[in-house]
Chains A and B, each alone.
Chain A
Amino acid sequence: MAINRFKTILAAGVTLAAMDVSGVQAQTGSGAEPLGNAEHGAELWEYECAACHEMGRGAENGIGPHLTRIYGRRAADVDGFTYSDSIERMGRDGLRWTFRTLDAYIENPYALVSGTRMSYPGLPDAQDRADILAFMRQFSDMPANIPEAEPTARRIEIELPPEVLAIRGDREWGEYLASECTTCHQRDGAAMGIPSITYWPEDRFVVAMHAYKEGLRPHAVMQNVARRLDNEEIAALAAYFATIDD
């Protein structure tokens, strides 16, 4: 049954995608880059997303929430779906689904929402993501009329070059820097009102902090903290919290 619905949706999506591409091309003259290939995105959707998500007319929540009209929506606001605390918190903090935030989420769900229940390893290929997002866009309200800036604008994503991820953090420096964190985040990992940040894999910590720094993750305090940390300092913090001994 789910498969049948999916096939119907897919067919509609392809048709809409064909219409939409021309609309977008009309905009490219004003400087916007073209969106991805929605037709290819529809194929990817089947392999990457459809096992858990439905989208389109009559779509229902399944393992994951339905994704109809995802663009412009606040995170974690589909009625009747039980979200992780982590994404609920991000929704309240102001996370909205735009091309940019969806792209970051699909690339690495845990980098954007640490405690997400979406069991998906991420899609590393930027073009594939653009294609899926172009496809998903057909199921949001009047996508061609959405103002160029958001949500259809091309992403200005956080790009972490390999050399940034490869920085070996200075743990002793991290311990000093961490004293700013432990005013709120507890060293023993207790999380009540404020999330735990201990024993994270270093790369996940680094990506999360850069996501705050770039404003991709919402939360005023964390954005403020992250914006004045440089690459070395973020790596130092990651090294310390990954191995903290309370």
Chain B
Amino acid sequence: MGRTHPGIAAIALAIAAFLVVFLVVPVVAVVYTAFSDGQGGFTLAHFSAFSGISLMRESFGNSLYVAGMTVGLGTLIAVPLAYLTVRFQFRGAILVQTLGVLPLVMPAFVGAAAMQLLFGRSGSVNLILKDAFGLTLPLMEGLNGVIFVETLHYFPFILLNLSAALANIDSSMEEAAQNLGASGWRLFRKVVFPLAMPGYVAGASLVFIKVFDDLGTPLVLNVTNMLAPQAYLRVTSIGLEDPIGYVICVILVAFSIGAMGGSWWFVKRRDYALVSRGGVQAPKRRLTAWQAALAYGWIAAMLLLVLSPHLGILLLSFSKVWSFTVLPEQFTLGHFATVFTESKQMIWNTFLYCGLAALVDVAIGTAIAYIVLRTRLPGRQLLDHLVTVALAMPGLVLGIGYLRTFKGIELPFGGGALTASWVIFVLAYAVRRLPYALRSCMAALTQVHPALEEAAENLGAGRWSTIRRVVVPLMMGGILAGFVTSFITAAAEISETILLTSRESLAPMSYGIYLYFQSVLGRGPGAALGVIAVGLVALGTYVSHRLVAANSPHQPGGGK
């Protein structure tokens, strides 16, 4: 492990160059444009222009409001669920886990159309309410709709992070509080929740930025007075030269970095290293009959809500006519037929783009994991940090950055303009989803004990031989899981996709769904395409869980 092979250094440099060209340069170009007066000078004029437009001020406020409300409502849903599963003996745990995964398999913007039909002004729920009580609930009106859809989609991030944090609290921390006289709500408020705070903050900040940056959901719900839709509209209707779009991008980036950095700082500031894992997890308590009824009731209600977009999209995909009725009146398979004839190209495009992007991701991810964990190459951490930057970059920003940076650049061998080719999708997806693949590869390599490699070297295998015959095979489970994660998250991507789709023949499925939803007639085929996408993502999620599960405990030599 002493000296670093020149070949490794060359690979590290190549990866760094890739990240600089396709991540750093586009983002810098966006930021530069926002602060540039056109003659290369620095100016804040675009920002003052931005704040001079009342629609922009309103959009800014709305985006903050929607993101904040989503975090708040998501917390209300997630905290009781997390506490229930981690601390109490009850049979609903599997249901709650399902609750945690279900929303993630369907892109929020796909669910949005179905939610409109179920909870909209003349949706099923309001039709029933009107009949029974003569009133309607404005669940999907304007910003409410965005908050509603985003909450149901993103609360699992809080649930999963918080559950993990709760499970990590040493039981003695709680017992000490009980021993000193605390119980019930006070125990939770004064000891349990503060100790789980790092997990909660990580989840909540993630939800905040995801919602703050989201473009697909507001567009499908026809809400344009928010930041991301405004940036998109400015760039597409006024043009790539309009600086206001870039100002919005800078705000999005600033909030993303602020939220991620803030949560990192928060966790770091407090000394949680003391929360030792030496002891045992808290024994699960029993629920009283009363509490059990409440718990099951809450879970059932949440499950129903969370399932509603899935059921809605399924109904919609099979319905011939569905408007102003509680349920569709006639069913058909026609939408699927339409999709398979009209949108074959889009389905193929999704497989092509996302497959290639995921391949690039695991190749780079494996290389970075090896370089960071197994070599002493100077500056190797920088690669890891660069990739983390990608996590904080909104797709919208990267998309606009690509259009600006690579405008007019021609592909070699007469491939035409880069921004008008399928290659741009692969690059954009690969860069955005690289953090997922990298985490997976890192986790896999951490599990491989260095002695296994030393044994190979001791028996005469050179560095490359060791990597090929020992390291990569041992990491394979993690690499595959990383591939699947990259693939499915890329397939569900919409912000970059909307921006980068220059013509319909290049569009992937996600764009197809979005396009179909633009017209009333297209809702059926859109839903059918959505069902296919959800099936794909669900299958991928299942496969990746299986891969991770199959690989972690039986890893040969997978010690500490």
Q: Do these two chains really belong together in a complex?
A: no
Could you list which residues of chain B lie within 8 angstroms of chain A, going by C-beta atoms? none
